[in-house]
Structure 1
Amino acid sequence: MCHRTRKQGAMLVLVAGIAACSSVYRNHGYVPAEDELALVEVGVDTRETVGQKIGRPSTSGLLNDEGWFYVQSRYEHRGPRQPREIEREVLAVTFNASGTVENIARYGLEDGKVVQISRRVTETNIKGISLIRQLLGNFGRFQASDFIGE
């Protein structure tokens, strides 16, 4: 009986290990399908009509408002590893000065470098200073009135 329980336990651990290492795929973003995009005419449609036909994107021109960018990414999550982007599609709809569609282009990961659209990381101002040096550097900056409240 004990041998059978060990064998079942080993099988359970093996199955759990294999399941933990299997890939999980997640999709982020939105890019209109070809049939939806066929409704947009270059030189005819404006920002308003493009928004009505295929929807407004979550990202537009960062430095100027010359284009709309629809971005869709597919990530692979495997076990405890960092998620890895395996597919990216960017649809760029650019407008001329009068606001009509000038160009429609599709780009993928194979078309160039991965460009980080937004970065939300706070950089520290402390560079090259160890924790001990920071702590010791505060000695002498305190006065008794700071602790007493006068």
Structure 2
Amino acid sequence: MPSHKPKLPVRPVRLIVAGMALALATSGCTQLKGRQGYVADPALTQAITPGVDNRESVEKTLGRPTFVGQFGTDEYYYVSRETRQLAFARPRPIDQQVLRIRFDEAGNVAAVDRTGLELVSKISPEGDKTPTLGRERSFFEDIFGNIGAVGAPGAGAPGGR
């Protein structure tokens, strides 16, 4: 006697296959989160007080700064940034904190400034090509434009004497 296996109707099989395809397609769109720079502890950063702390106490409390002021050592910067990235796209900043600590001539904290994501700007370069001065050359002029120029007699080539 032949055994008959019950067949699934075509419609549920299609739904299962479509569901699996959808799950595979959306699994490639994962979201990656990243953190760069100083990991700020709000309790420690709030503890820095102008007129009370000095350069040494700031370094003991917060550690070495991310970078020091460009024109001297009277400013410390602690920078942290969180980014989000979808699949293969470029990371976008979702949060940023910059803690700037300014010191007076004696090395005491003069001011503490905090800024956030409002100072992040997107810089868009000039199209896909770098603008240059000079004449426009076609694709073939770029490839074949120097044929005959290198090593030509009188052009200063070593064999042209």
Counterpart of 2:76, as a letter, is W
For residues 26-57 of structure 1, what are the alpha-carbon distances to aligned partners after superposition, in whole Å with 9 as ceiling and x for unaligned? 12121432321244331232222211111112
Cα shift at 1:98: 2.2
Out of 135, 150, 153, the position equivalent to 1:142 is 150
Between 97-106 and 56-65, the greater mean CA deviation after superposition: 56-65
Higher-Rg member (1/2): 2
* Alignment correspondent of 1:57: 65
Is 1:25 aligned to 2:33, yes or no? yes
Native 8 Å contact 1:92 1:106 kept in 2? yes
Other-structure match for 1:127? 132
Identity of aligned residues (%): 25
Uncovered stretches (5+) of structure 2, i.e. residues with no partner: 1-6, 124-128
1:83 aligns with 2:88: no
- Structure 1's unaligned 5+ residue stretches are 117-123
Q: Does 1:114 align with 2:128?
A: no
Cross-structure match for 1:37: 45
CA–CA separation in structure 2 for the residues paired with 1:99 and 1:6: 73
Distance in 1, matches of 2:74 and 2:13, equals 67
**Which of the residues 23, 27, 46 maps onto 1:15?**
23
Shift of the alpha carbon at 1:114?
A: 3.2
Higher relative contact order by CA 8 Å / sep ≥ 6: 1 or 2?
A: 1
Is the 2:78–2:100 contact (alpha carbons within 8 Å) kept by the matching residues of 1? yes
Is 1:98–2:106 an aligned residue pair?
yes
Residues 95-104 or 57-66, more deviating: 57-66
CA distance in structure 2 between the aligned counterparts of 1:59 and 1:134, rounded to whole angstroms: 44
Report the Cα distance in structure 2 between the residues aligned to 1:136 and 1:99, rounded to whole angstroms. 64
TM-score when scaled to structure 1? 0.70
RMSD of aligned alpha carbons: 3.4
Q: Aligned residues, how many?
A: 141
Distance (whole Å) between structure 1 residues aligned to residue 158 and residue 99 of structure 2? 60
